[in-house]
Amino acid sequence: MVCLGNICRSPLAQGIMEEKAKKYNLKDIYVDSAGTADYHVGSKPDSRSIEIAKKHGIDISKQRGREFSEVDFDIFDKIYVMDSSNLYDVLALAKSEDEHKKVDLILNKIYPGENKSVPDPYYGGGDGFEKVYQMLNASCEKIASSLSKK
Ligand code: 4NP
């Protein structure tokens, strides 16, 4: 799960995906998140993301920010990015066609082929974080349910 800062969207995506893995009893799955920028390496998730996750019964407070690196292509089978700018930055580090194919916009799981972005809630107010939670919840549900059928 990759976003820009690894403090708002992708930590939430990681927490939700870990919950779905439990719900669907997916044992051979390892979930992590990262940011394409290094601004928040070592930081806790944004307090608003921690709160929204908590409201939905998920604890993401132990996560710490890290920067996406090309080694992640060796570790992970799938790399879900939040927006088109993350997509551009991650693909710039891909070294092969196989690595390219690992990367997708997470909202393509629920809106196939539409290439929509998860809006960055960092500078916004209101219910931005709840909206992001709902989008990520629906996408992770889809990922987990399809994995459970494999
Ligand atoms: P995220 O949100 O990419 O969802 O973690 C952001 C967090 C921090 C910044 C930008 C976006 N920032 O500029 O510090």
Taking the C-alpha atoms of 28, 32, 83 and 53 in order, what is their torsion angle to the nearest 10 degrees?
100
| Residue 124 confidence class, pLDDT cut points 50, 70, 90 | confident
Residue 150 pLDDT exceeds 90: no
Query: So what's the pLDDT on residue 126?
Result: 78
> Does the pTM of the predicted model rise above 0.85?
yes
Q: In this prediction, what percent of the chain has a pLDDT beyond 90?
A: 96
**β-strand 2-3 against 34-35: which pairing, if any?**
parallel
The ranges assigned to domains in the chain are 2-148
Give the pLDDT confidence of 55-80 residue by residue, as tens digits. 999 999 999 999 999 999 999 999 99
Best residue among 122, 129, 132, 136 to mutate for probing ligand 1's pocket (most ligand atoms within 8 Å of CB) is 122
Three state DSSP letters for 90-111: HHCCCCCHHHHHCEEEHHHHCC
Lookup: tokens for 29: 């799955």
Query: So what's the pLDDT on residue 120?
Result: 96
CATH fold of 2-148 reads Rossmann fold (3.40.50)
CB atoms within 10 A of CB 109: 18
Nearest CA to ligand 1 atom 3: 4
Residues lining ligand 1, CB < 6 A?
Answer: 3-9, 39, 120, 122
